[in-house]
Amino acid sequence: MAEERSVRDSAQMLEAASDFANYPGVQNDAAVKEFLDRFPLPVIINALQTNSDIPGLENVLVNCLERVFRTKYGATFIPNYMPFVEVGLKADSPAVQTLACKTIRCLLENSEKTFSAVKPISEFNIYPLLLDCLIKGDEQVSAASVDTIKVLASFQEGMNIVFPLSDNEAMHLGNLATRCNSLGRVRVLALIVKLFSISSAVASVIFNTNLLSLLEAEIRNTDDTLVTLNVLELLYELTEVQHGTEFLSVGTLLQLLESVISNGSGDSILSSRAIAITGRLLSKENIFTYADESSVKTTISAIDGRLGSLENQVIDEQESAIEALGLIGSSTRGAMYLLSSANPVARHIVHSAFQRPGYGKIQLAALHALGNLAGEVRSENNMILNSAAEETLRFLIYDTASKSSKLTPYGLFLWLLQRDAETRLAAYRVLKALVRRPWCLMEILSKQEIAHLVSDPTIETTKIGMEAKYHCCEAIATALASSKLVGDPAFAQIVDELQDAVRRGPYLGRRRPESQPVVMTAERF
């Protein structure tokens, strides 16, 4: 009789837990309290520990408990159930391990950033167990552990746990990485990258404890291409961290990237990712405040050399390199680096934009890179470069045009505007930036066809296309209005056409109204 009642109670709890876990909305504190009044936590935890062989029960109770602890009310119970959390982190079940990791995260996220929130983690020695989950768990368990450690490190007391003062500590991330296999090392490095992104303060600790050197060491070790590629992907993530520039720009990272790019016998995918990382890193204006100038120039020269050796082959790597140059050229200092020297690196961008019609992907990347180089992504005050860089840019475009079948920049621009939608979109960006230069404005106005195209409301049908064309038209009209040509009768028609297009706006510019449905009364017999 007692056994039947136990089975009946378990079935009721399973049904109620399933309803609670699968509730489509957000469970509030009141709903959690009502559920726990019916089924107290000790009952649920006992069922999870003793009835895991019942099909479906474990997943239902795990999901149920996760939703309970996610609320502020539910999180208040966690400190009293730390032994359960400790056991859960050591469990054989990935679902239970994941729940235990998430439970610690809920404890931290639902508390004030005080020592009391971190105290249970210290008392029950939870951090080493989280690291075990990171290294030995499946992908889901490892990800849950990373998320939890990241929250822990955002607490001042948590930082003291994650970053022990002594390098000899067993849980020091540097020591941990040396004891792991290749997968474990990559996971530890991924954790370091996630921690680096928390704040400038945490990034500073990572830099000062020399943890970034672990990534550099893995890149130098060419024995395992897959590991090297994974670490390069982690470096790519690092370059996207806004506060990371000053830490990544000093030391040997740029020299290391240069060596990977210049390695002609290395795997092309490695050099391609190194080029992409360099582009992302050097696209930040403040990089030039911290980085050694000679290292910057050497790394850019390595990309130049790599592109020269890839002529007419390895399309994907050429595209990646052109995109990287475009990122570098988006900053003022970066653009001037690309346009300096007797044989400027920017020649790859200009030549690929206008002389490579057979390489669609490369040409499209080059056109967007040229838009960046010309300042389309920079502020109005920083769009124009110094006189030497501007003269180089003008020369490259005229020289490239003279060697093409179009002969003039006007012919090249017109040809691009008559191409497919993606090419037109890139061409609008290029013209929007270049038209700020008087020589380009004169080219565009030398004939009327380009003005007709950018003013024509029927050419573009997509939102992004209409907006890009409008901004290009607006830029030409603005440049013309501020030039000496605005009062010239020869340009009066073009001025009127451009100003009319600007007044119409990007979306409501069609001169002929669309057909409108007509509603009529039905004929009756």
**Alpha-carbon distances of 409 from 60, 372, 403, 430, 446, rounded to whole Å:** 67, 18, 11, 12, 11
Say whether both 335 and 399 belong to one domain: yes
Q: Other CB atoms closer than 10 Å to residue 69's CB: what's the count?
A: 26
In a domain, 155, yes or no: no
State residue 138's pLDDT score: 92
Q: What is the mean pLDDT of residues 382-392?
A: 92
In a domain, 87, yes or no: no
In 3-state terms, the chain is what percent helix, strand and coil (to 5)? 70, 0, 30
State residue 394's pLDDT score: 95
Say whether both 253 and 379 belong to one domain: yes
Report how far residue 322's alpha carbon sits from residue 301's, in angstroms, rounded to the nearest whole number.
13
Q: Other CB atoms closer than 10 Å to residue 194's CB: what's the count?
A: 17
Report how far residue 310's alpha carbon sits from residue 366's, in angstroms, rounded to the nearest whole number.
15
Of the residues 188, 206, 241, which one is the last residue of a structural domain? 241
Q: What is the mean pLDDT of residues 179-205?
A: 91
CB-CB contact of 132 with 94 (8 Å):
no
- Average pLDDT, rounded, for the chain: 84
Of the residues 225, 241, 257, which one is the last residue of a structural domain? 241
Token look-up 């056409």 returns 497
Say whether both 291 and 398 belong to one domain: yes
Pick from 186, 203, 199: which is nearest to 146 by CA? 186
Say whether both 389 and 469 belong to one domain: no
Determine the structural domain holding residue 411 and report its residue range: 406-417+435-507
Least confident of 147-161, 209-223, 312-326, 459-473: 312-326
Query: Which CATH number belongs to the domain containing residue 324 in this structure?
Result: 1.25.10.10
Of the residues 197, 225, 241, which one is the last residue of a structural domain? 241
In a domain, 327, yes or no: yes
Q: What is the DSSP string of 396-441?
A: HHHHHHHTSTT-SHHHHHHHHHTS-HHHHHHHHHHHHHHTTSHHHH
- Percentage of the chain beyond pLDDT 70 is 90
CB-CB contact of 133 with 101 (8 Å):
yes
Say whether both 458 and 328 belong to one domain: no
Strands (E) across 196-284 are located at none
Say whether both 237 and 257 belong to one domain: no
In a domain, 303, yes or no: yes
Tens of pLDDT, residue by residue over 399-416, are 998 888 888 899 899 988
In a domain, 42, yes or no: no
Residue 56 — left, alpha, or beta (φ > 0 → left; ψ -120 to 50 → alpha)? Answer: left
Say whether both 229 and 282 belong to one domain: no
> Would you mind telling me the total number of residues written for the chain in this entry?
525
In a domain, 461, yes or no: yes
Say whether both 356 and 214 belong to one domain: no
Tens of pLDDT, residue by residue over 161-190, are 999 877 777 788 888 888 888 899 999 999
Total domains in the chain come to 3
Say whether both 390 and 469 belong to one domain: no
In a domain, 349, yes or no: yes
Report how far residue 154's alpha carbon sits from residue 180's, in angstroms, rounded to the nearest whole number.
25
In a domain, 477, yes or no: yes
Work out the widest C-alpha separation in the chain, in whole angstroms: 104
Q: What is the DSSP string of 475-522?
A: HHHHHHHTSGGGG-GGGHHHHHHHHHHHHHTTTS--SSPPP-----PP
* SS3 of residue 110 by DSSP: coil
Say whether both 377 and 484 belong to one domain: no
Tens of pLDDT, residue by residue over 25-40, are 777 888 888 888 888 8
Our separate counts of H helices and E strands in the chain read 32, 0
Say whether both 385 and 330 belong to one domain: yes
Tens of pLDDT, residue by residue over 457-484, are 888 888 898 888 888 888 888 888 887 7
Say whether both 255 and 397 belong to one domain: yes
The residue ranking higher by pLDDT, 49 or 260, is 260
Query: For the purposes of burial, counting CB atoms within 10 Å of the CB of 238, is it exposed (0-12), middle (13-18) or buried (19 or more)?
Result: buried
